[in-house]
Structure 1
Protein backbone atom coordinates (compact mmCIF):
# COMPACT_ATOMS: atom_id res chain seq x y z
CA UNK A 1 0.00 0.00 0.00
CA UNK A 2 1.31 3.41 -1.04
CA UNK A 3 -0.06 6.87 -0.30
CA UNK A 4 -0.33 9.55 -3.00
CA UNK A 5 -1.78 13.09 -3.09
CA UNK A 6 -4.48 13.87 -5.65
CA UNK A 7 -6.02 17.22 -6.63
CA UNK A 8 -9.76 17.85 -6.94
CA UNK A 9 -11.75 20.97 -7.82
CA UNK A 10 -14.38 22.26 -5.40
CA UNK A 11 -17.35 20.79 -7.36
CA UNK A 12 -15.70 17.36 -7.36
CA UNK A 13 -14.91 17.62 -3.64
CA UNK A 14 -18.61 18.29 -3.05
CA UNK A 15 -19.41 15.20 -5.13
CA UNK A 16 -17.06 13.17 -2.91
CA UNK A 17 -18.69 14.54 0.23
CA UNK A 18 -22.18 13.86 -1.15
CA UNK A 19 -21.31 10.26 -1.97
CA UNK A 20 -21.88 10.83 -5.72
CA UNK A 21 -18.28 10.30 -6.83
CA UNK A 22 -16.51 6.93 -6.65
CA UNK A 23 -14.37 7.18 -9.80
CA UNK A 24 -11.85 9.56 -11.29
CA UNK A 25 -10.03 9.55 -14.63
CA UNK A 26 -6.56 10.97 -15.08
CA UNK A 27 -4.54 11.35 -18.31
CA UNK A 28 -1.59 8.98 -18.48
CA UNK A 29 1.76 10.67 -19.13
CA UNK A 30 3.47 9.77 -21.34
CA UNK A 31 0.66 8.35 -23.45
CA UNK A 32 0.97 4.59 -24.01
CA UNK A 33 1.06 3.02 -27.47
CA UNK A 34 -0.85 -0.21 -26.92
CA UNK A 35 -1.63 -0.91 -23.25
CA UNK A 36 -2.82 -4.29 -22.04
CA UNK A 37 -3.44 -6.06 -18.74
CA UNK A 38 -1.53 -9.22 -17.87
CA UNK A 39 -1.51 -11.03 -14.52
CA UNK A 40 -2.88 -7.95 -12.78
CA UNK A 41 -0.27 -5.55 -14.19
CA UNK A 42 -0.61 -3.00 -17.00
CA UNK A 43 1.93 -3.18 -19.82
CA UNK A 44 2.53 -1.08 -22.92
CA UNK A 45 3.52 -2.75 -26.19
CA UNK A 46 5.71 0.05 -27.52
CA UNK A 47 6.78 -2.02 -30.53
CA UNK A 48 5.94 -5.51 -31.83
CA UNK A 49 7.27 -7.99 -29.30
CA UNK A 50 8.48 -5.23 -26.97
CA UNK A 51 6.54 -4.37 -23.81
CA UNK A 52 7.33 -2.17 -20.84
CA UNK A 53 5.51 -1.93 -17.50
CA UNK A 54 3.28 1.10 -17.21
CA UNK A 55 3.76 3.51 -14.32
CA UNK A 56 0.38 4.69 -13.02
CA UNK A 57 -0.43 7.16 -10.27
CA UNK A 58 -1.93 4.49 -8.02
CA UNK A 59 -2.85 0.83 -7.87
CA UNK A 60 -5.54 -1.20 -6.13
CA UNK A 61 -4.93 -1.04 -2.39
CA UNK A 62 -3.22 2.36 -2.50
CA UNK A 63 -4.59 5.40 -0.70
CA UNK A 64 -5.09 8.87 -2.17
CA UNK A 65 -5.28 11.92 0.08
CA UNK A 66 -7.31 14.71 -1.45
CA UNK A 67 -5.84 18.17 -1.96
CA UNK A 68 -8.39 20.98 -2.36
CA UNK A 69 -8.62 24.78 -2.29
CA UNK A 70 -8.47 25.88 1.34
CA UNK A 71 -7.48 28.60 3.79
CA UNK A 72 -5.81 28.46 7.16
CA UNK A 73 -7.63 30.01 10.08
CA UNK A 74 -5.88 33.32 10.64
CA UNK A 75 -5.33 34.02 6.94
CA UNK A 76 -8.27 36.45 6.77
CA UNK A 77 -9.39 39.36 8.89
CA UNK A 78 -12.97 38.08 9.04
CA UNK A 79 -12.21 34.53 10.20
CA UNK A 80 -14.63 34.81 13.12
CA UNK A 81 -17.47 35.33 10.64
CA UNK A 82 -16.33 32.78 8.08
CA UNK A 83 -15.27 30.11 10.54
CA UNK A 84 -16.72 30.74 14.00
CA UNK A 85 -15.34 27.42 15.26
CA UNK A 86 -11.76 28.54 15.74
CA UNK A 87 -10.77 25.15 17.10
CA UNK A 88 -10.44 24.27 13.40
CA UNK A 89 -7.13 24.99 11.74
CA UNK A 90 -8.36 25.06 8.15
CA UNK A 91 -11.56 25.56 6.17
CA UNK A 92 -12.42 24.63 2.61
CA UNK A 93 -13.68 26.42 -0.50
CA UNK A 94 -15.90 23.44 -1.38
CA UNK A 95 -17.95 24.13 1.77
CA UNK A 96 -19.14 27.40 0.19
CA UNK A 97 -17.42 29.40 2.92
CA UNK A 98 -16.96 32.71 1.13
CA UNK A 99 -15.52 35.43 3.39
CA UNK A 100 -15.39 38.81 1.72
CA UNK A 101 -11.62 39.03 2.02
CA UNK A 102 -10.61 35.53 0.99
CA UNK A 103 -7.02 34.40 0.77
CA UNK A 104 -7.63 30.96 -0.65
CA UNK A 105 -4.67 28.66 -1.09
CA UNK A 106 -4.70 26.59 -4.32
CA UNK A 107 -5.14 22.85 -3.84
CA UNK A 108 -1.55 22.15 -4.93
CA UNK A 109 -0.34 23.79 -1.70
CA UNK A 110 -2.49 21.74 0.70
CA UNK A 111 -0.49 19.98 3.38
CA UNK A 112 -1.15 16.32 4.12
CA UNK A 113 -2.18 17.20 7.67
CA UNK A 114 -4.93 19.52 6.35
CA UNK A 115 -6.54 16.95 4.04
CA UNK A 116 -9.97 15.75 5.18
CA UNK A 117 -10.72 13.07 2.55
CA UNK A 118 -8.97 9.78 1.85
CA UNK A 119 -9.71 7.55 -1.15
CA UNK A 120 -9.01 3.82 -0.95
CA UNK A 121 -8.36 2.59 -4.50
CA UNK A 122 -10.25 -0.63 -5.25
CA UNK A 123 -9.75 -0.94 -9.02
CA UNK A 124 -7.64 0.57 -11.83
CA UNK A 125 -8.38 0.35 -15.56
CA UNK A 126 -6.54 1.79 -18.55
CA UNK A 127 -8.85 2.85 -21.37
CA UNK A 128 -9.61 5.53 -23.89
CA UNK A 129 -11.44 8.51 -22.41
CA UNK A 130 -14.42 8.15 -24.72
CA UNK A 131 -14.89 4.50 -23.72
CA UNK A 132 -16.55 5.68 -20.50
CA UNK A 133 -19.98 4.12 -19.99
CA UNK A 134 -23.14 5.81 -18.76
CA UNK A 135 -22.78 3.98 -15.44
CA UNK A 136 -19.17 5.10 -15.04
CA UNK A 137 -20.07 8.70 -15.94
CA UNK A 138 -22.56 8.66 -13.05
CA UNK A 139 -19.83 7.22 -10.80
CA UNK A 140 -17.66 10.19 -11.82
CA UNK A 141 -20.07 12.36 -9.83
CA UNK A 142 -21.92 14.26 -12.55
CA UNK A 143 -24.79 16.12 -10.95
CA UNK A 144 -28.45 15.36 -11.65
CA UNK A 145 -30.60 18.25 -12.82
CA UNK A 146 -34.34 17.89 -13.46
CA UNK A 147 -34.78 14.70 -15.52
CA UNK A 148 -31.21 14.87 -16.84
CA UNK A 149 -27.75 15.94 -15.72
CA UNK A 150 -25.94 19.21 -15.04
CA UNK A 151 -24.44 20.87 -18.16
CA UNK A 152 -20.94 21.63 -16.83
CA UNK A 153 -19.16 24.60 -18.36
CA UNK A 154 -22.20 25.92 -20.26
CA UNK A 155 -22.94 29.59 -19.59
CA UNK A 156 -26.58 30.53 -19.96
CA UNK A 157 -28.88 33.28 -18.73
CA UNK A 158 -31.76 30.80 -18.62
CA UNK A 159 -31.79 29.64 -15.03
CA UNK A 160 -34.16 28.01 -12.61
CA UNK A 161 -34.09 27.02 -8.95
CA UNK A 162 -33.57 23.46 -7.72
CA UNK A 163 -33.62 22.86 -3.95
CA UNK A 164 -33.20 26.59 -3.41
CA UNK A 165 -30.12 26.83 -5.66
CA UNK A 166 -30.02 28.70 -8.98
CA UNK A 167 -28.88 26.39 -11.79
CA UNK A 168 -28.95 26.38 -15.61
CA UNK A 169 -32.43 25.67 -16.93
CA UNK A 170 -31.13 23.41 -19.68
CA UNK A 171 -29.66 20.00 -18.93
CA UNK A 172 -27.90 17.07 -20.56
CA UNK A 173 -30.08 14.10 -21.37
CA UNK A 174 -27.48 11.60 -20.17
CA UNK A 175 -24.57 11.43 -17.76
CA UNK A 176 -21.99 10.73 -20.46
CA UNK A 177 -22.73 14.03 -22.24
CA UNK A 178 -22.49 15.83 -18.92
CA UNK A 179 -19.12 14.22 -18.23
CA UNK A 180 -17.88 15.25 -21.67
CA UNK A 181 -18.69 18.89 -20.84
CA UNK A 182 -17.09 18.51 -17.41
CA UNK A 183 -13.90 17.09 -18.94
CA UNK A 184 -13.59 19.98 -21.42
CA UNK A 185 -14.43 22.47 -18.66
CA UNK A 186 -11.53 21.16 -16.55
CA UNK A 187 -8.99 20.29 -19.26
CA UNK A 188 -9.78 22.82 -21.99
CA UNK A 189 -11.77 22.88 -25.21
CA UNK A 190 -11.01 19.92 -27.43
CA UNK A 191 -9.71 17.75 -24.59
CA UNK A 192 -12.56 15.26 -25.00
CA UNK A 193 -12.09 15.02 -28.77
CA UNK A 194 -8.40 14.20 -28.24
CA UNK A 195 -9.59 10.93 -26.64
CA UNK A 196 -6.41 10.24 -24.64
CA UNK A 197 -5.55 7.08 -22.77
CA UNK A 198 -6.61 7.53 -19.14
CA UNK A 199 -6.32 5.60 -15.91
CA UNK A 200 -9.78 5.09 -14.42
CA UNK A 201 -9.55 4.77 -10.65
CA UNK A 202 -12.44 3.34 -8.62
CA UNK A 203 -12.31 4.06 -4.91
CA UNK A 204 -14.07 4.09 -1.57
CA UNK A 205 -14.34 7.52 0.07
CA UNK A 206 -13.26 7.84 3.69
CA UNK A 207 -14.22 11.21 5.15
CA UNK A 208 -11.17 11.45 7.33
CA UNK A 209 -7.57 12.61 7.28
CA UNK A 210 -5.32 9.85 6.01
CA UNK A 211 -3.15 9.87 9.13
CA UNK A 212 -6.11 9.81 11.50
CA UNK A 213 -7.74 6.65 10.15
CA UNK A 214 -5.62 4.18 12.07
CA UNK A 215 -5.67 6.33 15.21
CA UNK A 216 -9.47 6.33 15.32
CA UNK A 217 -9.65 2.63 14.52
CA UNK A 218 -7.25 1.91 17.38
Structure 2
Protein backbone atom coordinates (compact mmCIF):
# COMPACT_ATOMS: atom_id res chain seq x y z
CA UNK A 1 0.00 0.00 0.00
CA UNK A 2 1.33 3.41 -1.03
CA UNK A 3 0.08 6.91 -0.26
CA UNK A 4 0.10 9.27 -3.23
CA UNK A 5 -1.36 12.67 -4.11
CA UNK A 6 -3.85 13.02 -6.97
CA UNK A 7 -5.01 16.29 -8.51
CA UNK A 8 -8.65 17.05 -9.37
CA UNK A 9 -10.40 20.08 -10.90
CA UNK A 10 -13.20 21.83 -9.03
CA UNK A 11 -16.05 20.05 -10.93
CA UNK A 12 -14.48 16.67 -10.21
CA UNK A 13 -14.03 17.54 -6.53
CA UNK A 14 -17.72 18.38 -6.34
CA UNK A 15 -18.53 15.02 -7.98
CA UNK A 16 -16.35 13.24 -5.40
CA UNK A 17 -18.11 15.07 -2.58
CA UNK A 18 -21.52 14.19 -4.04
CA UNK A 19 -20.61 10.51 -4.32
CA UNK A 20 -21.16 10.41 -8.10
CA UNK A 21 -17.52 9.88 -9.05
CA UNK A 22 -15.76 6.57 -8.32
CA UNK A 23 -13.40 6.39 -11.31
CA UNK A 24 -10.77 8.58 -12.93
CA UNK A 25 -8.75 8.24 -16.13
CA UNK A 26 -5.23 9.53 -16.55
CA UNK A 27 -2.99 9.35 -19.62
CA UNK A 28 -0.73 6.29 -19.37
CA UNK A 29 3.02 6.72 -19.68
CA UNK A 30 4.45 4.14 -22.06
CA UNK A 31 7.99 2.85 -21.60
CA UNK A 32 10.36 0.72 -23.66
CA UNK A 33 11.63 -1.10 -20.59
CA UNK A 34 9.89 -4.51 -20.32
CA UNK A 35 10.62 -4.95 -16.61
CA UNK A 36 7.38 -6.44 -15.32
CA UNK A 37 8.87 -6.83 -11.84
CA UNK A 38 9.20 -3.09 -11.44
CA UNK A 39 6.63 -1.69 -9.03
CA UNK A 40 3.90 0.09 -10.94
CA UNK A 41 4.63 -1.41 -14.36
CA UNK A 42 1.76 -2.92 -16.31
CA UNK A 43 2.01 -5.17 -19.36
CA UNK A 44 -0.64 -5.40 -22.03
CA UNK A 45 -0.57 -7.45 -25.22
CA UNK A 46 -2.78 -6.65 -28.18
CA UNK A 47 -3.09 -9.00 -31.13
CA UNK A 48 -3.79 -8.18 -34.78
CA UNK A 49 -3.77 -11.34 -36.90
CA UNK A 50 -0.34 -12.91 -36.65
CA UNK A 51 1.23 -9.70 -35.34
CA UNK A 52 1.44 -9.10 -31.62
CA UNK A 53 2.29 -5.67 -30.22
CA UNK A 54 3.52 -5.46 -26.63
CA UNK A 55 3.00 -2.31 -24.61
CA UNK A 56 4.65 -1.54 -21.30
CA UNK A 57 3.42 1.21 -19.01
CA UNK A 58 4.66 2.81 -15.86
CA UNK A 59 1.56 2.94 -13.65
CA UNK A 60 1.68 5.03 -10.47
CA UNK A 61 -1.36 3.35 -8.91
CA UNK A 62 -2.10 -0.10 -7.49
CA UNK A 63 -5.02 -1.76 -5.73
CA UNK A 64 -4.83 -0.90 -2.03
CA UNK A 65 -3.13 2.47 -2.55
CA UNK A 66 -4.48 5.52 -0.72
CA UNK A 67 -4.72 8.75 -2.72
CA UNK A 68 -5.11 12.10 -1.04
CA UNK A 69 -6.97 14.60 -3.21
CA UNK A 70 -5.30 17.87 -4.09
CA UNK A 71 -7.58 20.75 -5.10
CA UNK A 72 -7.54 24.54 -5.40
CA UNK A 73 -7.49 26.26 -2.02
CA UNK A 74 -6.95 29.46 -0.05
CA UNK A 75 -5.96 30.33 3.47
CA UNK A 76 -5.79 33.49 5.59
CA UNK A 77 -4.21 36.52 3.92
CA UNK A 78 -1.61 36.58 6.67
CA UNK A 79 -0.02 33.51 5.05
CA UNK A 80 0.16 34.88 1.50
CA UNK A 81 3.96 35.10 1.60
CA UNK A 82 4.39 31.68 3.20
CA UNK A 83 4.89 28.58 1.05
CA UNK A 84 2.79 25.47 1.79
CA UNK A 85 5.98 23.62 2.80
CA UNK A 86 6.61 26.22 5.49
CA UNK A 87 3.10 26.03 6.97
CA UNK A 88 2.69 24.20 10.23
CA UNK A 89 -0.59 22.41 9.58
CA UNK A 90 -2.81 24.54 11.81
CA UNK A 91 -3.73 27.13 9.17
CA UNK A 92 -7.37 27.63 8.23
CA UNK A 93 -8.16 26.22 4.78
CA UNK A 94 -10.91 27.25 2.35
CA UNK A 95 -11.68 24.87 -0.52
CA UNK A 96 -12.40 26.77 -3.72
CA UNK A 97 -14.53 24.00 -5.27
CA UNK A 98 -17.46 24.54 -2.90
CA UNK A 99 -16.44 27.24 -0.44
CA UNK A 100 -16.23 24.85 2.50
CA UNK A 101 -13.54 25.46 5.07
CA UNK A 102 -11.70 23.69 7.83
CA UNK A 103 -10.56 25.87 10.70
CA UNK A 104 -7.74 25.18 13.10
CA UNK A 105 -6.07 28.41 14.18
CA UNK A 106 -8.94 30.83 13.50
CA UNK A 107 -12.64 30.84 14.42
CA UNK A 108 -13.30 31.67 10.76
CA UNK A 109 -11.37 32.76 7.71
CA UNK A 110 -11.88 36.48 8.19
CA UNK A 111 -9.69 37.68 5.34
CA UNK A 112 -9.03 35.28 2.50
CA UNK A 113 -5.60 35.12 0.99
CA UNK A 114 -4.53 34.45 -2.57
CA UNK A 115 -5.67 31.58 -4.78
CA UNK A 116 -3.43 28.52 -4.56
CA UNK A 117 -3.23 25.77 -7.16
CA UNK A 118 -4.20 22.26 -6.11
CA UNK A 119 -0.75 20.97 -7.02
CA UNK A 120 0.58 22.96 -4.07
CA UNK A 121 -1.90 21.63 -1.50
CA UNK A 122 -0.06 19.96 1.40
CA UNK A 123 -1.04 16.48 2.49
CA UNK A 124 -2.50 17.64 5.82
CA UNK A 125 -4.89 20.05 4.08
CA UNK A 126 -6.58 17.37 1.95
CA UNK A 127 -10.17 16.52 2.93
CA UNK A 128 -10.77 13.51 0.64
CA UNK A 129 -9.00 10.14 0.62
CA UNK A 130 -9.49 7.66 -2.23
CA UNK A 131 -8.99 3.94 -1.64
CA UNK A 132 -7.96 2.28 -4.92
CA UNK A 133 -10.02 -0.83 -5.71
CA UNK A 134 -9.11 -1.50 -9.36
CA UNK A 135 -6.55 -0.39 -11.96
CA UNK A 136 -6.85 -1.01 -15.71
CA UNK A 137 -5.04 0.16 -18.83
CA UNK A 138 -7.14 0.71 -21.93
CA UNK A 139 -7.67 3.01 -24.87
CA UNK A 140 -9.65 6.10 -23.93
CA UNK A 141 -12.46 5.37 -26.38
CA UNK A 142 -12.97 1.89 -24.88
CA UNK A 143 -14.79 3.45 -21.94
CA UNK A 144 -18.22 1.89 -21.33
CA UNK A 145 -21.40 3.78 -20.48
CA UNK A 146 -21.25 2.39 -16.95
CA UNK A 147 -17.68 3.64 -16.60
CA UNK A 148 -18.66 7.07 -17.92
CA UNK A 149 -21.34 7.24 -15.22
CA UNK A 150 -18.71 6.22 -12.65
CA UNK A 151 -16.61 9.16 -13.89
CA UNK A 152 -19.33 11.45 -12.55
CA UNK A 153 -21.77 11.75 -15.45
CA UNK A 154 -25.35 12.26 -14.27
CA UNK A 155 -28.70 12.07 -16.03
CA UNK A 156 -30.99 15.11 -15.74
CA UNK A 157 -34.12 15.66 -17.83
CA UNK A 158 -33.06 13.14 -20.45
CA UNK A 159 -29.57 14.57 -20.93
CA UNK A 160 -26.26 13.56 -19.40
CA UNK A 161 -23.82 16.02 -17.91
CA UNK A 162 -21.02 16.46 -15.41
CA UNK A 163 -21.44 19.26 -12.88
CA UNK A 164 -24.08 20.98 -15.04
CA UNK A 165 -21.71 21.10 -18.01
CA UNK A 166 -20.94 19.01 -21.10
CA UNK A 167 -24.61 18.19 -21.83
CA UNK A 168 -25.04 15.28 -24.24
CA UNK A 169 -27.40 12.50 -25.25
CA UNK A 170 -25.22 9.74 -23.81
CA UNK A 171 -22.86 9.34 -20.84
CA UNK A 172 -19.87 8.66 -23.12
CA UNK A 173 -20.45 11.78 -25.23
CA UNK A 174 -20.73 13.86 -22.07
CA UNK A 175 -17.48 12.39 -20.75
CA UNK A 176 -15.85 13.06 -24.12
CA UNK A 177 -16.65 16.76 -23.65
CA UNK A 178 -15.11 16.73 -20.18
CA UNK A 179 -11.99 14.94 -21.39
CA UNK A 180 -11.44 17.41 -24.22
CA UNK A 181 -11.92 20.39 -21.91
CA UNK A 182 -9.00 19.11 -19.83
CA UNK A 183 -6.74 17.49 -22.41
CA UNK A 184 -7.40 18.73 -25.95
CA UNK A 185 -5.12 21.77 -25.75
CA UNK A 186 -2.17 19.59 -24.74
CA UNK A 187 -2.59 17.33 -27.78
CA UNK A 188 -4.38 14.48 -26.01
CA UNK A 189 -7.97 15.02 -27.07
CA UNK A 190 -10.63 12.34 -27.41
CA UNK A 191 -9.88 11.87 -31.12
CA UNK A 192 -6.26 10.88 -30.40
CA UNK A 193 -7.57 7.91 -28.36
CA UNK A 194 -4.57 7.71 -26.00
CA UNK A 195 -3.79 4.84 -23.67
CA UNK A 196 -5.16 5.67 -20.24
CA UNK A 197 -5.02 4.30 -16.71
CA UNK A 198 -8.56 3.76 -15.41
CA UNK A 199 -8.54 3.89 -11.61
CA UNK A 200 -11.57 2.83 -9.54
CA UNK A 201 -11.84 3.82 -5.90
CA UNK A 202 -14.02 4.37 -2.88
CA UNK A 203 -14.17 7.86 -1.38
CA UNK A 204 -13.59 8.67 2.28
CA UNK A 205 -14.35 12.17 3.54
CA UNK A 206 -11.31 12.60 5.72
CA UNK A 207 -7.69 13.63 5.86
CA UNK A 208 -5.54 10.66 4.83
CA UNK A 209 -3.81 10.71 8.22
CA UNK A 210 -7.05 10.86 10.21
CA UNK A 211 -8.34 7.68 11.80
CA UNK A 212 -10.65 5.74 9.49
CA UNK A 213 -14.29 5.61 10.63
Partner of 2:11: 11
Residues 47-126 of structure 1 correspond to what in structure 2 (within 5 A)?
54-74=57-77, 89-96=92-99, 103-126=114-137
Distance (Å, rounded) in 2 between the aligned partners of 1:52 and 1:33:
10
**CA separation in 2, counterparts of 1:151 and 1:138?**
9
**Structure 2 CA distance, aligned partners of 1:196 and 1:132?**
12
Gap runs ≥5 in structure 1: 78-86, 153-166
- Cα root mean square deviation, aligned: 3.4
Distance 1:94 1:151 in 2: 14
Q: TM-score, normalised by structure 2?
A: 0.74
Residues 180 and 49 from structure 1, CA distance in 2 versus in 1: closer, same or farther, beyond 3 angstroms? Answer: closer
For the residue of structure 1 that corresponds to 2:202, the secondary structure is: strand
> Which residue of the other structure, out of 197, 210, 213, is the alignment partner of 1:212?
210
**Matches of 1:22 and 1:136 in 2, distance apart?**
9
Measure how far apart 1:51 and its partner are.
6.4
Contact in 1 for aligned 2:22/2:201 (Cα 8 Å): yes
Q: Extract unaligned runs of 5+ from structure 2.
A: 81-89, 101-109
1:29 aligns with 2:29: yes
Q: C-alpha deviations, 1:100-157, integer Å up to 9, x for none?
A: 97611000100001000000000001100000000100000124332111278xxxxx
In 2: Cα distance, 1:23 partner to 1:151 partner: 13
Structure 2: distance between partners of 1:178 and 1:49? 33
Per the alignment, do residues 120 and 52 of structure 1 end up closer, same or farther by CA in structure 2, a change over 3 Å counting? same
- Answering whether residue 141 of structure 2 is matched by residue 130 of structure 1, we say yes
Within 5 A, what are the aligned runs for 1:157-196? 171-188=167-184, 191-196=189-194
Summarize the Cα distance change of 1:50–1:139 in structure 2 as closer, same or farther, 3 Å threshold: closer
- Alignment CA distance shift 1:49-1:138 (3 Å): closer
The offset of 1:68, in angstroms, is 0.2
Partner of 2:105: none
Number of equivalent positions: 184
TM-score computed with the length of structure 1 as normaliser: 0.72
Deviation per CA, 1:169-201: give whole Å up to 9, x if none: x93111110000000001125610010000100
CA distance in 2, matches of 1:176, 1:50: 27
> Is 199-208 or 53-62 further displaced after alignment?
53-62
In structure 1, what is the equivalent of residue 103 of structure 2? none
Do the aligned residues in 2 keep the contact of 1:42 with 1:54 (CA within 8 Å)?
A: yes
